[in-house]
Amino acid sequence: MNNNVVVTGVGVVSSIGIGKDKFWKNLLAGKSGISAIEQFDTSTHKRHNGGEIKHFDPTRFIHSRHIKYYGRASQMAILATKLALHDANITLAEVKREKCSLIIGATMPEDSSLDFSSEDLLKNKGGRITKTQVLNTFPPSLCRNIGMFLKIKGNNLLIPCACAAGNYCIGYGYDMIRSKETDIAIVGGAEAISRIAFQGFQRIYAMAPETCSPFDKNRTGMLLGEGAAILILESEENALKRKKDVYARVAGYGLSCDAHHITIPKRTGLKKAMANAVKNAGLTPDDIDYISAHGTGTGQNDKEESAAINELFGGKRVPTSSIKSMLGHTMGAASAIEAVTCCLAIKNGEIPPTINYTTPDPDCDIDCVPNFSRKHAVTAALNNSFAFGGNNSCVVFSKN
Annotated catalytic sites, by residue?
Answer: 163, 294, 329
Query: Do the beta carbons of residue 338 and residue 383 sit within 8 Å?
Result: yes
Distance CA 138, CA 159 (A): 13
Q: How far apart are CA 220 and CA 300, in angstroms?
A: 11
List the one residue out of 205, 171, 203, 164 whose CA is nearest residue 187: 171
Can you give the C-alpha Rg of the chain in angstroms?
A: 20
CA distances from 206 to 299, 328, 331, 368, 393 (A): 9, 12, 14, 21, 22
Per-residue CA distances from 177 to 21, 174, 187 (Å): 27, 5, 12
On the CB side of 55, CA atoms within 13 Å amount to 4
Q: List CB contacts of 105: < 8 A, sequence separation 6 or more.
A: 158, 159, 160, 161, 165, 166, 168, 169, 188, 189, 190, 332, 333, 335, 336
Q: Which residue type sits at 187?
A: V
